[in-house]
């Protein structure tokens, strides 16, 4: 059986989550192992959630917010980008690989961007193999 990476996708309510909705409504596909969690804004995306997701066996974490300058709350996405940068260095230090975390943007109209990103990220994680924190 091929390895199916499990991805936790934290999406902001206004852009990322709506982009995922749009992808579905437009009948675009992406791997079903991408699990979407809705936040109001990526500004509330705590580094701890990333660590928790890996601790619980996810192989990759995707954070999808608004494009810079389009945040519904002005700058939540910028704070999230900073925070994710911080947590990426922790992932590196832990030997998990910072590539297992991706922060990106997709507007509510960019269902295609969401589907493509989710697909490409899943493939990347697939190549990296299962998270070392997964139970054997």
Partner 1 sequence: MTEKRKLGVFLCHCGGNISDVVDVKAVRESIEKQDGVVLATDFRFMCSNEGQERLQKEIRERGLDGVVVACCTPKMYEDLFRQKAEEAGMNPYLLEIANIREQCSYAHRFEKDKATEKAKVLVRGQVEKVRHLKPLEVKTAPIQPGVAVIGAGIAGIHASLLLANLGHKVTLIEKSPTIGGNMARTVKTFPTDDCAMCTLSPKMNEVYNHERIDLVTYAEVKEAKRSPGKFTLVVEKKPRYVTDACIGCNRCTEKCPVSTAKSPVSVESEWDQGLTKRKAIYLPFPQALPQLWTIDADHCFYFQRGGKCRVCAMVCPAKAIDFTMKPERLDLEVGAVIVATGYQEYDPTPLRLYGFGREPNVLTQMQVARMLDSMGPTKGTVSRPSDGRAADSIVMVQCVGSRGAPGDPLTHEYCSRVCCMVAVKHAQLIKKARPDTEVYVLYNDLRAYGKGFEEYYVHSMELGVKYVRGLPGKVRKEGARLLVDVDDMLTGRRLEIPADVVVLSAAMEPTPVDDLLKSLKLDTSPDGFVKEYHAKINPTETAVKGVFVAGCAQGPKDITDSISQAGAAAMSAAVFLGGGEMTLNPLVAEVDAALCRACDRCMEVCEFDAVKVDPEMLIAVVDETACEGCGKCTVVCPTGAISVRQFTKPQIVASIDAMAPMAVSP
Of the pair 47, 97, the CB lying nearest partner 1 is at 47
Q: Which of residues 97-116 bind partner 1 (CB under 8 A)?
A: 115
Determine contact, residues 128/10, Cβ cutoff 8 Å: no
Near partner 1 by CB under 8 A: residue from 15, 53, 62, 96: 53
d(CA 105, CA 114): 8
d(CA 78, CA 56): 27
Near partner 1 by CB under 8 A: residue from 85, 94, 129, 134: 134
Near partner 1 by CB under 8 A: residue from 15, 58, 103, 110: 58
Of the pair 95, 135, the CB lying nearest partner 1 is at 135
SS3 79: helix
Provide the CA 111 distance to its chain's centre, in angstroms. 15
Interaction of residue 96 with partner 1, rule CB under 8 A: no
């Amino acid at each position: 059986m091929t390895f199916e990476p499990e991805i936790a996708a934290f999406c902001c309510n206004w852009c990322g989550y709506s982009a995922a909705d749009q992808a579905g409504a437009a009948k675009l596909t992406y791997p079903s192992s991408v699990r979407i969690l809705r936040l109001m804004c990526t500004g509330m995306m705590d580094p701890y959630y990333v660590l928790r997701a890996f601790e619980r066996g996810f192989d990759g974490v995707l954070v999808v917010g608004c494009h810079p300058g389009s945040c519904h709350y002005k700058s939540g996405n910028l704070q999230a980008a900073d925070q994710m940068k911080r947590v990426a260095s922790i992932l590196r230090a832990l030997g998990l690989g910072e590539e297992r975390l991706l922060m990106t943007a997709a507007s509510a109209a960019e269902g295609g961007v969401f589907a493509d990103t989710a697909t490409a990220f899943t493939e990347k994680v697939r190549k990296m193999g299962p998270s070392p924190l997964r139970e054997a």
